[in-house]
Structure 1
Amino acid sequence: MALDKKVGDTLNAQINKELYSAYLYLTFADYYEDRGLKGFANWYMVQVQEEVSHAKILRRYLLDNDYQVKMAAIAEPDKTFTNDLAPLQAGLEHERYITAAINECYQAAYDVHDFRTMQLLDWFVKEQGEEETNASDMIKNMELFGSDPKGLYDLDREYQARTFVAPTMPM
């Protein structure tokens, strides 16, 4: 069964959104590096790897379904930060945007009864739930502990331990 054009176009657009996410999170990592918070920078560098892997999963899916992938320009992030909480808040806002975009992809597949694509997107729906929870938890942690130098140090050390684990897709 050929991939519906609207479904393919929506997934192709999502590739760009995932790559933009990586680009955006690089700016978050840079902010924290400049502040000397290498753990927070590490957290976002892992996020960069995750977002690129999400784009690669979608790209592979389109290619495997004989759909021509079209790479679009990645917009320049326009965020600037004045405090350590601001990138975390921007991260949650962005994850909510990506959740809405994944839902649009799902809706496109649902509208044409493309159950195979819906199955792929089930993984992304679950992943976005985890992404929003992580982003929200980081905000709560910063609000609770970030104003205390020792608390901020401990958070930074905790985030420094995060490592990238390549996602495994259900088959």
Structure 2
Amino acid sequence: MKDIARQELSIHIEVMDMLNDQIQKEAQSSTAYLAMASWCDQQGLENSAQFFYAQAEEERTHMMKIFRFINDNGGNAMAPATSAVNHDFTSLEEVFSDALAHEVGITKSIHKLVAKSRAEHDYATDAFLQWFVTEQMEEEQTMRRALDILKLGEKMSLLQLDERIAELNTAQ
């Protein structure tokens, strides 16, 4: 009976299995961002902590969107398990670098899903995934902008230090 039910799906079986894998990846993302938020909180970086708390919630929303899509199309969405995530960072730049690397990995996973749905002529899933394609472009851009801000901050500090050195020259 289970095999008959799977044959009546609106989505392709292999695509559904990949979507369930994506649910797990989105849950893992949420967990990783919670760890990043916690590290930021511990460092007194309130704005960065709030940023990552919001990212964690957003990833959970992505997970639920896929979860519901599977069930709404006759599939069987699987509750995700997450593995341990890194809680130890050496700098805010490392946190955002890890976040960017994570988002790039999610983007690649979404692209594989799109390719598979197209190969299987699963047009409903393909259309559904287009939102995620756009979302991932935005996620990567956000993380890159954050890293640019951090790098600019480093330069600003050096410029301020350079101004102090200029003051030393006038004191002679």
Task: Tell me, yes or no, if structure 1 residue 88 matches structure 2 residue 108.
Answer: no
Shift of 1:146: 5.1
Q: After the TM superposition, list the runs of 4 or more consecutive aligned residues in structure 1 that deviate by more than 3 angstroms.
A: 146-149
- Is the Cα contact below 8 Å between 2:33 and 2:53 reproduced in 1? yes
1:34 maps to which residue?
42
Q: How many residues are paired up?
A: 149
Identify the match of residue 76 of structure 1 among 84, 88, 95. 84
Are 1:59 and 2:67 matched, yes or no?
Answer: yes
CA distance in 2, matches of 1:121, 1:88: 25
* TM-score, length-scaled by structure 2: 0.83
Instruction: Write the letter of the residue equivalent to 2:60.
Output: V
The 10-residue stretch of structure 1 (32-41 or 67-76) with the greater mean CA deviation from structure 2: 67-76
Q: Which stretches in structure 1 are left out of the alignment for 5+ residues? A: 150-171
Among 144, 149, 152, which residue is 1:136 paired with? 144
* Residues 11 and 124, structure 2, Cα contact 8 Å, conserved in 1: no
2: CA distance between counterparts of 1:41 and 1:135? 14
Q: Distance in 2 between matches of 1:69 and 1:15?
A: 8
Provide the secondary structure at the position in 2 that maps to 1:85.
helix
Letter of the 1:113 partner, please give it: H
Q: Which has the larger radius of gyration?
A: 2
Instruction: Report the structure, 1 or 2, having the larger helix content.
Output: 2
Aligned residue number for residue 125 of structure 2: 117
Q: Deviations over 1:117-158 (max 9, x none)?
A: 111100000000000000000001011115768xxxxxxxxx
Which of 18, 43, 48 aligns to 2:51? It is 43
Structure-2 separation of matches of 1:148 and 1:87:
20
* Structure 1 Cα separation of the partners of residues 56 and 80 of structure 2: 18
**Equivalent position amino acid for 2:142 in 1:** N
* Aligned residue identity for 2:117: A
Paired residue type of 1:63: N
| Aligned partner letter, 1:17 | K
Segments of structure 2 that go 5 or more residues without pairing to the other structure are 1-8, 158-172
Q: State percent identity of aligned pairs.
A: 30
Instruction: Give the aligned residue type for 1:94.
Output: H
Instruction: Tell me how far apart the structure 1 counterparts of residues 54 and 86 of structure 2 sit (CA, whole Å).
Output: 21
How far apart, CA to CA, are the structure 1 residues paired with 2:54 and 2:33? 9
Partner of 1:152: none
Q: Which has the higher contact order (CA 8 A, sep 6+)?
A: 1
